[in-house]
C-alpha cells in the first residue's frame, strides 16, 4: 500500500513538472505562423521551423501535411499563413483566386527531382522520356523491350491526388492516362519499399527517398545529381513552392526569407533536396 502511494506520488511529480515546463515554453509566444501542404516539402519545413524557433523564441510555428492541394486551398481560404506545394497552382485554383479577388505570391524554396528507381538487380541503366511514357501508359509490358532481362514490368505510381503524380503526369504522360494495372501507392516510402522487393518494378520518388536498396537510373543519359538538377538539365526537375497571400505577409515572409538564406538552404540540402540558390550566395 505504502509502495503504491509512493509510486503515485512520483507519477504525480512527473506530471506536474511536465506541465510546469510546458507552461514555461508556451508562455510569451505571441507570433504564430501556420503552415500546411505538400508532404514532399514537409521535412524541409519541419527542420527549418525547429531552427527558426530556436533563433526567434517569440515565434510559434505549426506545421501540417495534407498534400499540395490542401496547402493551396487553405492559403486561398486564409486558414493558414503559408501553403506549401510540390506543384504550381493549377487552372481551377487560379479561377478560385480570381473569384475571391486574392493574389498569391509564389516563392520556390528548393528543387526536387522525381527520380526513377528500379530493382537493384535490374541491368537497365538509362531510359528516355518516350520510353517512360510508353511504360506508364501501358504500351510496353516487358523489360526485354527496354534492353533488360526477359521480365514482366511492374509499374508503380503514386496515388492520383499527390503532387508528384501531377508533375510526373504532366511531363512524362502528357495527355495520356496512366495504365490501369499500375500499382498506385500512397507514399514515397511505400514506392521505395516495394521497388526494393519487387524484381520487375519501376517507380518514381522524390530524390530524398532514394536509398541503397533501389537503383537510380538516368533519363536520356542525365542522372539526377546536384548539378544537373540546379541547371534544370534533368528533365524531371521540379520546384517546391511556398505560397503566401499578398495581403497577409510580413511574418510569413520572414520565415520564407530564412529558408532562402544560406542557413535555410543548408537545411534544404541536409533533408536530401537540392538548394535553389548556389552555395555562398546571400540574398
Contact residues toward other proteins (CB under 8 A) are 66-70, 73, 92, 151-154, 159-162, 165-166, 175, 177-178, 180-186, 190, 193-194, 197-201
* Shortest Cβ 61–other proteins spacing (Å): 22
Cβ-based nearer residue to other proteins, 49 or 153: 153
Cβ-based nearer residue to other proteins, 25 or 160: 160
Helix/strand/coil for 111 = strand
The DSSP output letter for 222 is: B
Cβ-based nearer residue to other proteins, 52 or 168: 168
- Nearest CA to 82 among 100, 102, 98, 62? 62
Question: How would you classify the pairing of strands 31-37 and 82-85?
Answer: parallel
Cβ-based nearer residue to other proteins, 110 or 182: 182
Name the H helices within 27-159: 42-55, 68-76, 91-100, 129-137
> Which residue's entry shows cell 527520380?
115
* Shortest Cβ 241–other proteins spacing (Å): 16
- Nearest CA to 41 among 97, 102, 104, 107? 107
* Shortest Cβ 113–other proteins spacing (Å): 21
* Shortest Cβ 38–other proteins spacing (Å): 9
Amino acid at each position: 500500500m505504502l509502495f503504491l502511494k509512493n509510486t503515485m506520488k512520483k507519477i504525480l511529480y512527473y506530471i506536474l513538472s511536465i506541465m510546469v515546463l510546458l507552461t514555461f515554453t508556451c508562455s510569451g509566444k505571441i507570433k504564430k505562423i501556420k503552415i500546411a501542404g505538400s508532404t514532399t516539402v514537409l521535412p524541409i519545413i519541419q527542420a527549418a521551423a525547429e531552427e527558426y524557433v530556436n533563433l526567434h523564441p517569440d515565434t510559434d510555428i505549426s506545421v501540417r501535411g495534407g498534400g499540395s492541394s490542401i496547402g493551396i486551398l487553405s492559403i486561398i481560404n486564409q486558414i493558414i499563413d503559408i501553403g506549401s506545394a510540390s506543384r504550381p497552382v493549377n487552372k481551377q485554383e487560379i479561377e478560385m483566386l480570381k473569384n475571391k479577388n486574392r493574389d498569391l505570391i509564389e516563392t520556390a524554396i528548393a528543387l526536387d527531382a522525381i527520380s526513377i528507381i528500379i530493382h537493384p538487380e535490374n541491368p537497365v541503366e538509362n531510359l528516355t522520356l518516350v520510353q517512360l511514357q510508353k511504360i506508364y501508359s501501358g504500351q510496353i509490358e516487358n523489360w526485354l523491350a527496354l534492353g533488360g532481362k526477359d521480365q514482366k514490368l511492374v509499374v508503380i505510381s503514386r496515388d492520383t491526388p499527390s503532387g508528384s503524380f501531377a508533375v510526373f503526369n504532366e511531363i512524362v504522360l502528357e495527355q495520356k492516362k496512366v495504365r490501369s494495372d499500375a500499382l498506385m501507392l500512397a507514399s514515397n516510402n511505400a514506392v521505395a519499399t516495394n521497388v526494393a522487393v519487387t524484381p520487375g518494378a519501376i517507380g518514381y520518388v522524390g530524390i530524398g527517398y532514394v536509398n541503397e536498396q533501389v537503383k537510380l537510373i538516368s533519363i536520356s543519359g542525365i542522372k539526377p545529381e546536384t548539378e544537373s538538377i540546379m541547371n534544370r538539365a534533368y528533365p524531371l526537375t521540379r520546384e517546391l513552392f511556398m505560397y503566401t497571400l499578398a495581403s497577409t505577409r510580413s511574418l510569413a515572409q520572414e520565415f520564407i526569407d530564412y529558408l532562402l538564406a544560406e542557413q535555410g538552404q543548408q537545411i534544404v540540402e541536409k533533408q536530401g533536396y537540392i538548394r535553389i540558390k548556389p552555395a555562398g550566395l546571400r540574398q
